[in-house]
Amino acid sequence: GNSVTQMEGPVTLSEEAFLTINCTYTATGYPSLFWYVQYPGEGLQLLLKATKADDKGSNKGFEATYRKETTSFHLEKGSVQVSDSAVYFCALKVKAAGNKLTFGGGTRVLVKP
């Protein structure tokens, strides 16, 4: 089946620190990969996506590269801000599974000033 594994949080870091959130997946088929972000009290928002191997998704200073050889899609940001405090979800879609999203468990990130 399809599954997504993320590093467990919470991840606590200081402002301007480097952030990495690991995400690995298993999929029957060729997936598209997504990172969603959930700010406190809100629904999920798409942060970035990649639809084929070696694609790099980027948005708001965040980046993630689709690595087929390691089945990974790690999220990175070079200098975090307090406003980046949120829960981050890695997810995949596979055509064979009706294009429904499969989510990882989420990683809570807390950035302190």
Partner 1 sequence: NAGVTQTPKFRVLKTGQSMTLLCAQDMNHEYMYWYRQDPGMGLRLIHYSVGEGTTAKGEVPDGYNVSRLKKQNFLLGLESAAPSQTSVYFCASSYDSLLAYEQYFGPGTRLTVT
The yes or no reply on residue 54 touching partner 1 (CB under 8 A) is no
* Residue written as token pair 């405090």: 85
Instruction: With beta carbons less than 8 A apart as the criterion, state whether 13 and 80 touch.
Output: yes
The yes or no reply on residue 105 touching partner 1 (CB under 8 A) is yes
Interacting residue with partner 1 among 73, 80, 104, 109 (CB under 8 A): 104
Instruction: With beta carbons less than 8 A apart as the criterion, state whether 109 and 8 touch.
Output: no
**Residues paired with residue 108 on neighbouring β-strands, in sequence order:** 87
Only one of the segments 10-18, 29-37, 58-66, 78-86 lies at the binding site for partner 1 (rule: CB under 8 A); that segment is: 29-37
**Calpha distance 103→113 (Å, rounded):** 30
Q: Which residues form the interface with partner 1 (CB under 8 A)?
A: 4, 8, 32, 34, 36, 41-46, 49, 51, 89, 91, 93, 95, 98-101, 103-106
